[in-house]
Copies of this chain bind each other. A is one copy, B any other.
Amino acid sequence: MHTIREKQRLLARVRRIRGQVEAIERALESEAGCETIMHQIAGVRGAIAGLTAEVIDDHIQTHLVDLEKHPGALNTAAAEELMAVIRTYLK
Chain A residues with CB under 8 Å of chain B are 1, 7, 10-11, 14-15, 17-18, 21-22, 24-25, 28-29, 31-35, 37-38, 41-42, 44-45, 48-49, 51-52, 55-56, 58-60, 62-66, 69-70, 72-75, 78-79, 81-82, 85-86, 88-91
Using Cβ atoms and an 8 Å threshold, which residues of chain B touch A42?
52, 85, 88-89
Using Cβ atoms and an 8 Å threshold, which residues of chain B touch A81?
34-35, 38, 59, 63
Is the beta-carbon distance between A65 and B59 smaller than 8 angstroms? no
Is the beta-carbon distance between B73 and A55 smaller than 8 angstroms? no
CA distance A8 to B74 in the complex (A): 28
A72 CB to closest chain B CB (Å) equals 8
Is the beta-carbon distance between A75 and B82 smaller than 8 angstroms? no
